[in-house]
């Protein structure tokens, strides 16, 4: 029996992500996994690639944490400075939490054909950066606020009324510029509004996402990142459509794999952990001491996972897997994602060694930013003309 068997509280934790993914990794090392085999001798080569990318991007090795805030600077424009400019520090922190939550939840893969043209600058941006810029400009225009006088809000009333058509128009979606999963994204935002309104203890009344600042304020002196994740997973679990649940608790980003004894459940919580990484910065800027950031895990998504495939560390047992359209909760995808999480912890050791940094000096969030995510994107562009991931995942706009 696996640890935490039948316990939703355990599965809604970063510890469960790390431990269950390690179980799949151990099976792969024994040659017992059905879909992929490992070539761990190639891990050093991947670490060297990430060291080179990190030194090129951050020559002084002053690497920020991997978070949504990096994407808001696309084109070297400091858009974060626009958020609630002139407000007091607490209100600015709330507005930045508002933006981070909405923007991260909209940050499932855009699709290779989508572009966003920023009217204010003329810049054309795609993929994650495009979604980030589009979400920031949407908030600036008041899309997520019920009060036109306060556009830098994301409140429950406005979110619950978001339509597919309005979101599509704001994000410039159309036949010649298709954004993947628009319907799923709009549904996610409406569910978000409904869930926030139903939890005044977290989001206040009237409900606003940024009121998490006030909820966490009593723990300003020491707020563990894994505790932040637990709160978000419990609070936001009902927004995810069609996911597994256990004893009435929605499990969110969680799949099944035969290598895990008992319930077989393997949680990832990719978007939720990406969200926590993205909330840390506004809270720290507001004077919070966020602790145990390495208690979170690497992110099981297509850039990190693609890096391991493209570097030949993870190799499909059946090459046709690379040509098929895969359900995100199918066992091959769950296996690939689990191996990605476990390998990121091992990769981090080699990256730190190459940079001459300790784990305390260079936590996983810096490895990701320095880092593995950019290296995954770059090697994808080297291998495929459209820079797409090596696996094709059928996305509903709410997972990756």
Q: How sure is the predictor about 21, in pLDDT bands with cuts at 50, 70 and 90? A: very high
pLDDT tens across 79-97, in order? 999 999 999 999 999 999 9
pLDDT given at position 243: 81
Measured distance CA(299)–CA(129) in Å, rounded: 17
Structure tokens at 94: 């709330």
Beta-carbon contacts of 56 under 8 Å, excluding residues fewer than 6 positions away, are: none
Percent of the chain whose predicted confidence (pLDDT) is above 90: 86
Let me know the angle formed at the C-alpha of 242 by 5 and 161, rounded to the nearest 5 degrees: 130
Q: What is the pLDDT of residue 202?
A: 98
Give the model confidence (pLDDT) of 95-130 as tens digits.
Answer: 999 999 999 999 877 777 899 999 999 999 998 899
**pLDDT of 191:** 95
On whether the CB atoms of residues 107 and 189 are closer than 8 A, the answer is no
What's residue 45's pLDDT? 96
Cα 257 from chain centroid (whole Å): 22
Q: What does the pLDDT look like over 59-68, one tens digit per residue?
A: 999 999 999 9
- Write the pLDDT tens digit of every residue in 242-296: 788 889 888 989 999 999 999 999 999 998 999 999 999 999 999 999 999 999 9
Q: Can you say whether the dihedral through the CA atoms of 393, 117, 66, 53 is positive or negative?
A: positive
Predicted pLDDT of residue 397? 57
| Of 340, 383, 57, the residue nearest 348 (C-alpha) | 340
Q: Where are the domains of the chain?
A: 8-393
Q: Cα separation of 36 and 34, whole Å?
A: 6
Average pLDDT in the chain: 94
Asked whether residue 398 carries a pLDDT value surpassing 70, the answer given is no
pLDDT of the residue at 3: 80
Q: What is the pTM of this model?
A: 0.93
Q: How many CA atoms lie within 13 A of 339 on its CB side?
A: 31
């Amino acid at each position: 029996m696996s640890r935490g068997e039948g316990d939703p509280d355990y599965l809604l934790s970063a510890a469960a992500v790390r431990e269950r993914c390690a179980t799949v990794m151990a099976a792969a090392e024994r040659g017992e996994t059905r879909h992929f085999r490992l070539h761990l001798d190639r891990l050093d080569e991947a670490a060297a690639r990430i060291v080179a990318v990190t030194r090129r991007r951050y020559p002084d090795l002053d690497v920020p944490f991997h978070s949504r805030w990096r994407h808001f600077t696309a084109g070297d424009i400091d858009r974060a400075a626009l958020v609630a400019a002139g407000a007091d520090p607490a209100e600015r922190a709330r507005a930045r939490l508002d933006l981070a939550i909405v923007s991260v939840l909209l940050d499932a893969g855009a699709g290779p054909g989508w572009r966003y043209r920023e009217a204010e600058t003329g810049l054309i941006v795609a993929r994650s950066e495009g979604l980030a810029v589009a979400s920031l400009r949407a908030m600036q225009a008041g899309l997520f606020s019920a009060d036109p006088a306060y556009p830098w809000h994301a409140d429950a009333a406005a979110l619950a009324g978001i339509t597919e058509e309005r979101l599509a128009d704001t994000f410039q979606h159309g036949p010649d510029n298709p954004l993947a999963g628009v319907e799923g994204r709009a549904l996610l935002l409406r569910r978000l509004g409904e869930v926030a309104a139903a939890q005044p203890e977290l989001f206040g009344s009237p409900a606003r996402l940024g009121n998490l600042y006030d909820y966490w304020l009593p723990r300003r002196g020491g707020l563990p990142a894994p505790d932040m994740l637990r709160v978000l997973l419990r609070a936001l679990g009902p927004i995810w459509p069609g996911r597994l649940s256990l004893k009435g608790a929605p499990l969110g980003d969680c799949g099944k794999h035969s290598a895990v004894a008992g319930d077989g459940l393997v949680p990832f919580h990719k978007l939720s952990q990406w969200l926590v990484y993205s909330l840390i910065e506004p809270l720290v800027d507001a004077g919070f001491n966020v602790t145990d950031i390495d208690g979170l895990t690497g992110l099981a998504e297509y850039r990190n996972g693609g890096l391991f495939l493209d570097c030949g560390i993870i190799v499909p047992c059946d090459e046709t897997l690379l040509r098929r359209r895969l359900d995100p909760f199918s066992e091959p995808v769950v296996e690939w994602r689990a191996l990605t999480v476990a390998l990121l912890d091992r990769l981090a050791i080699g990256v730190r060694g190459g940079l001459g940094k300790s784990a305390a000096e260079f936590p996983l969030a810096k490895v990701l930013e320095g880092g593995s995510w950019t290296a995954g994107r770059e090697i994808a562009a080297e291998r495929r003309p459209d820079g797409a991931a090596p696996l094709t995942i059928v996305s509903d706009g709410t997972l990756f």
